[in-house]
Amino acid sequence: MSQPGPLMDSAIARKVWRAIVVADTETGESYMVGQDDHSKVPVPAFSTELEEAHKIVEFFQAKGWTFRVRSIPEDNNFQACFYRDDNRQYRFVKAETTPMVICEAALAALNGTNILR
């Protein structure tokens, strides 16, 4: 299971928004390169901030995906899945927080690892 933080946030920026993400080894800072002016744009905290993670859900929904999330209190985690209405079976991923489970589900959908058959 992945960890929330800058690495996950950068992965989402690269894979979902196809942003160019630069990691400055001197400062430890990561940033996206602005498309119009090549400025340094902070990488949103997708994996820790619900408002930022919700932008991922909106992005996928605009592309025709449906999103489901559920709380599993006995396991102290959340399960989520992005899926399409195409007669395939989809696998839920799990994480300890809602923002993180949204990130994990988005990456699984993009990689095709959320499809069972």
For residue 70, give the CATH number of its domain.
Answer: 3.30.2120.10
67 belongs to a structural domain: yes
Q: What distance in Å separates the CA atoms of residue 92 and residue 82, rounded to the nearest whole number?
A: 8
pLDDT at 20 (0 to 100): 92
The answer to whether 46 and 53 are in contact (CB under 8 A) is: yes
Q: Give residue 112's identity as a one-letter amino acid code.
A: G
CA angle 22, 27, 29 (to 5 degrees): 40
65 belongs to a structural domain: yes
pLDDT at 29 (0 to 100): 78
1 belongs to a structural domain: no
Note the pTM of the prediction, 2 decimals: 0.91
1 pLDDT more than 70: no
Q: Write the pLDDT tens digit of every residue in 12-55.
A: 999 999 999 998 778 777 888 987 888 889 999 999 999 999 99
Q: Give residue 45's identity as a one-letter amino acid code.
A: A
How far, rounded to the nearest angstrom, does the alpha carbon of residue 31 sit from its chain's CA centroid? 17
The structural domain count of the chain equals: 1
Could you give the percent of the chain with pLDDT greater than 70? 99
Handedness of CA 38, 42, 46, 50 (dihedral sign): negative
pLDDT at 59 (0 to 100): 97
12 belongs to a structural domain: yes
Range of the domain at 29: 6-111
Collapsed DSSP state (helix, strand, coil) of residue 54: helix
96 pLDDT more than 90: yes
98 belongs to a structural domain: yes
Looking only at the bridges linking them, the beta strands covering 30-33 and 77-83 are unpaired
56 belongs to a structural domain: yes
CA angle 29, 34, 60 (to 5 degrees): 95
117 belongs to a structural domain: no
116 pLDDT more than 90: no
Range in 29-43, 64-78, 84-98 with the lowest mean pLDDT: 29-43
51 belongs to a structural domain: yes
90 pLDDT more than 90: yes
